[in-house]
Structure 1
C-alpha cells in the first residue's frame, strides 16, 4: 500500500494547473518535481522505495556515515540554478563547499601524482614534477582545447533537448568518431597521463576505446569550475530537495510502484500502480531506466520507433561500492584517490567517523575478481587489520554505456513521442552524473513550461 505525504495547495488553484506525476524520486525526479511545482503545476511523486533521493543517500553503521553514491560534483551552477528556479537559493538549505585537495593518482609503476583540480598552473607544475615539461605541456594543451568543446556541448547538448540532427559544422568540431582512447594515444606521450584521461570514461562505467573523445571535456570543466561537495555529505542534498518538495506543496507517495504509463491515442492519461490504483495525469515525467519504461510501461504504438532504438543500448557498469570503517593509524589520503590498474579502484575519505577512526568508501570500476581489501593491499593500501565496520551500497542505475559515438543518439530523449511523457535521469539525455541529470531536469521543466 502506497504511503502518502500530502502537501497539496487548495483545489480551486490546483484546477488551473497541469496534473504532473513524477515516477521515481532520484536526483533527476526530485529536481523535475520541484521545478515544475514552482512553475505552477500540480505535482505528485510516486517512489517505489520508502525513502526519497535514490543514490543521494547515506549509509550509517557503527558510528560511521558514508555517502551511498555521489560524493562530489562539478558545474555547481547546475545545483544553484535548480534551487533558485524552485525557490530560495541553495545556501538557504545546504552549503556547497569546494574540494581543495588535489586528486591523488597512484599508478601501476609505483609513481604518485597529486593533481590539483582547479588550477591550470598548479596542474602543469604537478605534471612537470612527475613526467617532465613536455608531458605537462601536452596535458595543459589538451585540457585547454576542450574549452571550445565545452561551448559547443553546452549550446547543443547540455541546455536544449536532444535534437534529431546536429549541424554538420558542429559534428566536425566535436569529431565524435574519435574515441577517448585515440585522443589519449595521439595527444599524450606518457602512459600515466593517458590513464588519467581514460579515468573519465571508467568512472562512468564505459571503456575509453568506445567513448567519444569529447567526453574528455570533464577535464576542462573540473579545472575551470572546480569540484564541489555538500556540507554533511550528499545525503544532505537529498534532504534539501525533500524539504523543497514540502515547501512547494508536492504530494509524495512512497512504496508506490508504478507498473504502467497509461495512454490513449498517443497521449498520456496517467499511471497504474502495482496494487491496481490508477492515477490520472496530463504529464508524466519518468526518472527510471528508459529501457524498462519503453519495454514494459508504455504500450502505445507511438512509442514503437523509439522503443527499438532505446532497447539497443546497454547499461553502464556501475561501480561496486564498499564502505569501510577503519581504526587509526591508516594511510593519510586526500578526498579522492584513484588507484590505476585493472580494475580501477577509487578511494574516497569524505565520510564521518568516531574519534580515532576514518571512514573510507571504495569504488571498484569494472568487474572485480578479488576482494576489495585484497585489491587495496595490492595497490599499496594494506588496511585489512584496521577494519572495524564494512558495509556495501546497493548497485545503482548507472545510465547507458558508451558503445561508440552513436550511443548519444540512442539515449532516451527528454521529450517522448508519446505526448505528455518526458524522461530524465541517468539513462536519458544528457547523461549520468549529478551535473547532467540536474541539467536534464531543467530541460524537461523548460519543455513543459509554466502553468
Structure 2
C-alpha cells in the first residue's frame, strides 16, 4: 500500500478517545493538521476510567504504569511541559508482593536485580534468586531482539520472520535422553526456574495480560523483564490522571473533541476513506481516518467492503476479560503496606483450564491482584482505605456470578487480614462494563504483541486495505497495554506525516 507523505494541513477524523487515539491526535495536531475526535461516550480515556463515591476514587482500568518513557516521549514531542509537570509519577516500592499457595511470601524491590535476587533467596531458599536473575538476563536478550520491531517500528511487511523466530535464548534441557529447549513460558518456568513458586511468579505476568502461559511463547519473558528493567510506576490520583493530562495536551494542541458522537460508518470516495458517518446522518469529511476501535466495530463501519488487515495478520482471538471489585474500607492503610499484592491460585492448572477452556469458566480460588495505593487523594480521610481487586475472567456478555465476587474477596483476605470486617461497600466492574466502554465483544482485552507462536500474538498493521484508513490502540500493532497503545499513536502519526519513508520512533 502506498501512503503519500502529508505536506500540507489535512483534515483528520479520529474514531474514539482512547489513550492510543489521543496520542495520535496530539502528535498529528502538532504536525499542523486539523484533528477532530469523535467519541461515542461522554468522556475520554477508553478503558482508563474512574469511579467515585462517598469521597472514594478508584481506577476501573489499569492501576499501574509500566514503561513511562512512552508517555514522556509523547509529552516531549507535543509541547513544552514534560510529563512530570502534568502528573505526579512515583515508583512503587516494593514493585509487588507475592503470596504463594504454600503460604510463602516475598516482596520484590522495584527495578533492582540485586535486591530481587536477595529477596527471593531469603524467601524461597538459596539459589532461587540466582535462577530468576539468570532468567532476566536471557529475557533481556529477547527484549533487545524484539523491542524495535514489536514496539517502535511499523509492522514489518515480512512479519513472518517475527512469527517464526523465537527470540528467547532458552537453556537446553535434557529429558528422556533428548535435549529440548523451552518453547512456552510454562516450560521456561519448569525447566529453567525449577521451583513451582518461581514458575507461578513468572506465569502471573502472562496472566496479567490475559495470556495462557502454557501456550504463550517463551518470548513472553519480555513482560516480566519490561517491569523489572523500567520499574513499576503510579500516577498520583490514579491512572485516570494520566488520561486527563493527555486529553488536556490534545486540547492545547487544538484537537477538537465531539462527545456523544456515535460513528456508524467510514465514508469512502474513489476507493479511499473520505470521512466518517455519524448516527445523526451527518458525514464529517476528512482526508484521513484513524480508527481507535475494536476490530468487530471497524468491520461494521465498512459493510460494503471485505475489510482485511493490510498486513495479513489477524486480530488476536480467545482473550479473556477482567473482573474488578472496588472496596471502600474503614480504617487507614497500614504503614509499610505493599501497593500491589498478587495472591496466587490454589490450583493454577485448574484455573488456566477453566479460564482458557471452551466455554470459559472461573476457578473457586483464582489468582487475584490486590491494589492498595498509598494516595490520600483516593479516600475521604486518613481513616479509610480504597482497595481494588482484579482477576482475569472469560470474555462474556452475561452477568458475573455474585458468588465469584465473594470468592475474590475471600482470596484477597490472605493479603488484607480482616478485610470483610472493614468493608463499607463494594462496587463491581464486569466484562459487560468493559464492552460498553470499549466496544470489544465480551469485554475482551488485547495483549501486547509478541514474537514467534506462528504470529498469532502479533497485531494487524496500523495501515489497512483501505487507503487513508489507519488503526490505532490496543487492537492494532503493537497491541494492548498503556505503553503499546501509546506507541500505536506514535506509529500512526508517523505513517500519516512521513508516509512510506517512516521507519519508526527515534
Q: TM-score, normalised by structure 1?
A: 0.89
Q: What SS does structure 2 have at the residue aligned with 1:210?
A: coil
Within the candidate set 339, 343, 347, 2:370 is matched to 347
Within the candidate set 463, 475, 488, 1:427 is matched to 475
Instruction: Note closer, same or farther for the CA distance 1:315–1:37 as it changes in structure 2 (3 Å cut).
Output: farther
2: CA distance, partners of 1:402 / 1:245: 27
2: CA distance, partners of 1:249 / 1:168: 41
Which residue in 1 is equivalent to 2:446? 399
1: CA distance, partners of 2:405 / 2:110: 27
2: CA distance, partners of 1:416 / 1:336: 39
Which residue in 2 is equivalent to 1:3? none
Deviations 1:39-90 (A, max 9, x none): 1111000000001112222211111111121121221110100111111221
- Pairs within 5 Å for 1:381-396: 381=416, 382-393=418-429, 394-395=433-434
Which residue in 2 is equivalent to 1:449? 497
Q: TM-score, normalised by structure 2?
A: 0.80
Q: What SS does structure 2 have at the residue aligned with 1:121?
A: helix
Give the deviation of 1:158 after TM superposition: 0.7
Q: What SS does structure 1 have at the residue aligned with 2:156?
A: coil
2:15 matches 1:26: no
Q: Is the 1:206–1:402 contact (alpha carbons within 8 Å) kept by the matching residues of 2?
A: no
2: CA distance, partners of 1:169 / 1:413: 13
Instruction: Note closer, same or farther for the CA distance 1:152–1:165 as it changes in structure 2 (3 Å cut).
Output: same
Give the deviation of 1:439 after TM superposition: 1.0
Q: Is the 1:17–1:40 contact (alpha carbons within 8 Å) kept by the matching residues of 2?
A: yes
Give the deviation of 1:271 after TM superposition: 0.8
Q: What SS does structure 2 have at the residue aligned with 1:419?
A: coil
Give the deviation of 1:292 after TM superposition: 2.1
2:368 matches 1:376: no
Give the deviation of 1:19 after TM superposition: 0.8
1: CA distance, partners of 2:168 / 2:332: 49
Q: Is the 1:302–1:418 contact (alpha carbons within 8 Å) kept by the matching residues of 2?
A: no
Deviates more, 1:279-288 or 1:360-369: 360-369
- Pairs within 5 Å for 1:24-103: 24-88=16-80, 89-103=82-96
Q: Is the 1:373–1:383 contact (alpha carbons within 8 Å) kept by the matching residues of 2?
A: no
Which residue in 2 is equivalent to 1:320? 323
Deviations 1:173-200 (A, max 9, x none): 5169922112222211110100111111
2:271 matches 1:266: yes
- Pairs within 5 Å for 1:147-166: 147-166=140-159
Q: Is the 2:139–2:168 contact (alpha carbons within 8 Å) kept by the matching residues of 1?
A: no
2:304 matches 1:281: no
Give the deviation of 1:314 after TM superposition: 2.0
Q: Is the 2:449–2:458 contact (alpha carbons within 8 Å) kept by the matching residues of 1?
A: no
- Pairs within 5 Å for 1:117-196: 117-166=110-159, 171-174=164-167, 178-196=183-201
2: CA distance, partners of 1:287 / 1:186: 40
1: CA distance, partners of 2:162 / 2:367: 36
Give the deviation of 1:299 after TM superposition: 3.7
2: CA distance, partners of 1:181 / 1:37: 44
Within the candidate set 103, 113, 117, 1:110 is matched to 103
2: CA distance, partners of 1:86 / 1:60: 30
2:404 matches 1:357: no
2:234 matches 1:229: yes
Instruction: Note closer, same or farther for the CA distance 1:218–1:280 as it changes in structure 2 (3 Å cut).
Output: same
Give the deviation of 1:362 after TM superposition: 0.6
Deviations 1:259-295 (A, max 9, x none): 111223431111111121111111111111023212x
Query: Mind listing any 5+ residue stretches in structure 1 that lack a counterpart?
Result: 1-14
1: CA distance, partners of 2:448 / 2:149: 21
2: CA distance, partners of 1:187 / 1:195: 13
2: CA distance, partners of 1:168 / 1:401: 18
Instruction: Note closer, same or farther for the CA distance 1:425–1:224 as it changes in structure 2 (3 Å cut).
Output: same
Give the deviation of 1:95 after TM superposition: 2.3
Give the deviation of 1:309 after TM superposition: 5.7
Give the deviation of 1:206 after TM superposition: 1.9
Instruction: Note closer, same or farther for the CA distance 1:210–1:167 as it changes in structure 2 (3 Å cut).
Output: closer
1: CA distance, partners of 2:367 / 2:331: 25
Give the deviation of 1:115 after TM superposition: 1.3
Q: What SS does structure 2 have at the residue aligned with 1:310?
A: coil
Q: What SS does structure 1 have at the residue aligned with 2:119?
A: helix
Give the deviation of 1:112 after TM superposition: 0.7
